[in-house]
Amino acid sequence: MKAIRKIWRYIRNYKKALVIALFSMLVIQSLNLAAPLLVKSILDDQLVAIKEPWYETVEKTEKSVLYNGKYYQQQETKTENVLSVVIVKGKYYAVDDIVIQGNYHVENNTLIVTDTNNLVTKYNLIQLDINEVKDFYSPFINPLIILLVLLVLRYFLQIAFLYIQRTATSHITINIIKDARIDAIKALTLLPMDRFEKEPAGKIANRIINDVNGINSLFNILMNLMVNATLAVVFAYIGMFYLNWQLSLITFVLYPIIYIWLKAFIKRLRRSAEKTNESRSMITAQLNEIINGIGILQVYNYKDETIETFNQVSNEFRREQLKESRLHLGMGWNLIRLLGASITALIILYFGYNSLNIYGFVATAGLIYAYNDYLSRLVEPVMMLFREIGNYQHAVVRSERLFNLIDSVKEDDEYHEIDRYKGKVVFDGVWFSYVENQPVLKGIDLTIDPGQMIGIVGHTGSGKSTLMNLLLRFYDFKDDDMGNIYIDDLPIDTYSKRTYRKHIGIILQDPIMFKGTLADNIRFGAEASDELIEETLRLVGGGKLLDKLEFGIHQKIVRGGSNLSVGEKQIISFARAILHNPSILIMDEATANIDTETEEMIQRALEEVKKNRTTIVIAHRLSTIKKANKIVVLENGLKVEEGTHEALLKNNSVYANIYRSQVKIEEIM
Ligand code: ATP
Ligand code: MG
């Protein structure tokens, strides 16, 4: 039910299409109600009605027939002279009396009728010639044509409305899938990093690709089961009660049986559906890992093991699917076949019994046809229920998973304009651990004034990136973490993540490039003319890169930017950062191992970038941060030193050691 309520969020944007679809369903079901009644009328009132008694009338009318110089007509008011038409073995006879029901037999111009009590009645009869037979049928021709036209018309109308209904429904499904997918991608961009660590990337991708279809099938099943099937049942009952209410009452006995069976069925199916879905996404995840790591797999010859694991996952999936289809066949399909057969048997029994005319009730061919037709329309939704209930479970499981993803970050997605930060950043006694009881940061205190440039140094694994991950809110503080971070004296969780990040920029260790042109990668959502982009790129030292590229800033960049060097990628992200003009910029320097030319290029770029903003640089090459207002040294999650380059050298401690070792290496080189 939760999933249904949530799906409404998406459907309600397409109310017009929904109304059209629902209205069409109503029309289709009313047309369905009409069909058996039309056929019944054709059978009972027209085709076999010739056998009803004909009474003599004085004048000629539309419905009268001339026979032996007298007019006869089928009517309510009885007259003295009556005539019956009987059909025995394809031959037509006239009898001047009302003929009782029973077994007909013709012998020497005599009709012998044996009724159910074995009483024999005899009538004189005269055989009718072909023209006389035609005359007797003539009053029925016009109504028959009208009924047939109606029947065909109903059929065309049904096709037309079915078309409208399908079009409206697919309009809705296509659109809600699109909307849900956008929401899911949005959610993905706001997801805390630890979600990506806990779940394989493939599983998350699977959620967006496959689970979105869950919404689609949920909507379709709801439309089919809740609306169409309900309407079908209601209309079938209207028809059945109209034809024979006693028999219709009996069908209600079946419902408790169906209900109990269905409940047991659902319980097992739900368990099975969850498992199947789980192993399906495991397969996708596994595939994803294989494809992503194909290079390493091939080089290290790890293929056999990989295939073996994939086989296991795949087998698990097969087993679950098999279980599920057995369940469907055993509990779903069988019951419905059984039910369908017993119902047909019941009708035949009932009408057969009644056609013996014990209660003066005659079951006509049309009645039996129509009743059976309605009954099968009643059985159809029940069959659909059993058939679709499994898909329904799958759809619910999938939709719920997708909604969990979307809703988990809904708060973070809120956005409103806030003023550009002045740029004061304060870390106040920050303790943080990725894994419980293994703190990576141990009480960091650090104050950065607006517009300052700060360098952070420390050995690998000392917690530099972690400090920035927290500032960027890639990770949330957990219960056992302590302290807080403030920007302009406001705790960083004051705003939603999206709002908060508006004025923060990053240049990552390995800058990320997306498929598109160079200009796209620099612009990246900001509004900027081509000229401005080129100017900015040259400003940060990208002139050489630009001159090298055939199409300049319109050069295509492949996904991941693998046609660019790391240094070039960093230059591009500098330009990106300047264009977006964040008030706080974080740069995570890639590595110490860069040639002097690139080093100079980056230093010049940094000079430009740091203007008019607070800049935090995680540095491996200390030359980068020599001019920083302040350098912070981390070791094992502790701040061990803080001060300017000169002050720290004078201090002659950790920083001085790192510096000396770098200078020595450079001298050797
Ligand atoms: P480097 O100079 O190599 O980039 P760093 O100073 O940036 O190192 P961090 O990335 O902050 O170091 O890592 C600090 C510690 O936290 C390391 O011991 C690392 O193993 C651990 N760590 C980092 N990321 C995670 C994570 N997602 N889950 C668990 N532990 C992590
Ligand atoms: Mg790092």
Does residue 634 lie within any of the structural domains?
Answer: yes
Please tell me the distance from the alpha carbon of residue 515 to that of residue 116, in angstroms, as a whole number: 87
Pair of tokens at residue 589: 């320097």
Q: Is the pLDDT of residue 358 over 60?
A: no
Based on the domain organization, do 397 and 253 belong to the same domain? yes
Distance, CA of 28 to CA of 34 (rounded, Å) = 10
The helix/strand/coil state of 652 is coil
Largest CA distance in the chain: 139
In a shared domain, residues 396 and 320: yes
CA of 588 to the centre of ligand 2 (A): 7
What is the structure's pLDDT at 355? 57
| Structural domain harbouring 237 | 191-407
Q: Which pLDDT score is estimated for 411?
A: 66
Tell me what percent of the residues of the chain surpass a pLDDT of 70. Answer: 93
pLDDT in tens, 127-183: 888 888 888 888 888 888 898 899 899 999 999 999 999 999 999 999 998 998 888
Q: Is residue 627 part of a domain?
A: yes
277 and 401 in a single domain? The answer is yes
State which of 195, 196, 437, 440 you would mutate to test the pocket of ligand 1, scoring each by most atoms of that ligand within 8 A of its C-beta. Answer: 440
- The pair of structure tokens assigned to 401 is 């998973």
Report the range out of 186-195, 241-250, 382-391, 487-496 with the highest average pLDDT. Answer: 487-496
Q: How far apart (Å, rounded) are the C-alpha atoms in residues 520 and 511? A: 15
**Residue 205 CA, ligand 1 centroid: distance in Å:** 25
Arithmetic mean of pLDDT, 600-606: 81
Q: Burial letters for 646-660: b for 16+ Cβ neighbours within 10 Å, e otherwise?
A: eebeeeeebbeebbe
Domain count within the chain: 3
Give the number of whichever ligand sits closest to the CA of residue 634.
1
What is the distance between the terminal CA atoms of the chain, rounded to a whole angstrom? 69
pLDDT in tens, 291-337: 777 767 777 766 777 788 888 888 888 988 888 888 877 777 677 77
Q: How far is the C-alpha of 218 from the C-alpha of 395, rounded, in Å?
A: 5
The mean of the pLDDT values for the chain is 84
- Among residues 553, 559, 557, the alpha carbon closest in space to that of 537 is found at 553
- The pair of structure tokens assigned to 515 is 């498929």
Identify the residue with better confidence: 603 or 665: 603
Within 328-442, where are the H helices? 334-354, 365-408
Give the atom of ligand 1 at the shortest distance from the alpha carbon of 458.
6
Residue 454 phi, psi dihedral angles, 5° rounding: -120, 135
**Test site for ligand 1: of 466, 632, 633, most ligand atoms within 8 A of the Cβ:** 466
Q: Which residues line ligand 1 (CB under 6 A)?
A: 197, 434-435, 440, 458, 460-466
CATH number at residue 262: 1.20.1560.10
CATH number for the domain that contains residue 513: 3.40.50.300
How many angstroms does the Cα of residue 328 sit away from the middle of ligand 2? Answer: 53
Residue nearest to atom 27 of ligand 1 (CA): 434
Answer with the one of 118, 138, 158 that is the final residue of a domain.
Answer: 138
Q: Which bound ligand lies closest to the C-alpha atom of 457?
A: 1
- Do 257 and 123 lie in one domain? The reply is no
Number of Cβ within a 10 Å radius of residue 478: 11
353/240 same-domain check: yes
Residues 207-227 as b or e (16 or more Cβ within 10 Å = b): bbebbbbbbbbbbbbbbbbeb
Task: Assess if residue 620 is contained within a domain.
Answer: yes
Element (H, E) at 633: strand 630-635
- Same domain, yes or no, for 228 and 324? yes
CA–centroid distance, 456 to ligand 1, in Å, is: 14
DSSP 136-201: HHHHHHHHHHHHHHHHHHHHHHHHHHHHHHHHHHHHHHHHHHHHHHHHHHHHHHHS-HHHHHHS-H
Residue to mutate (ligand 1; options 196, 456, 464; most atoms within 8 A of CB): 464
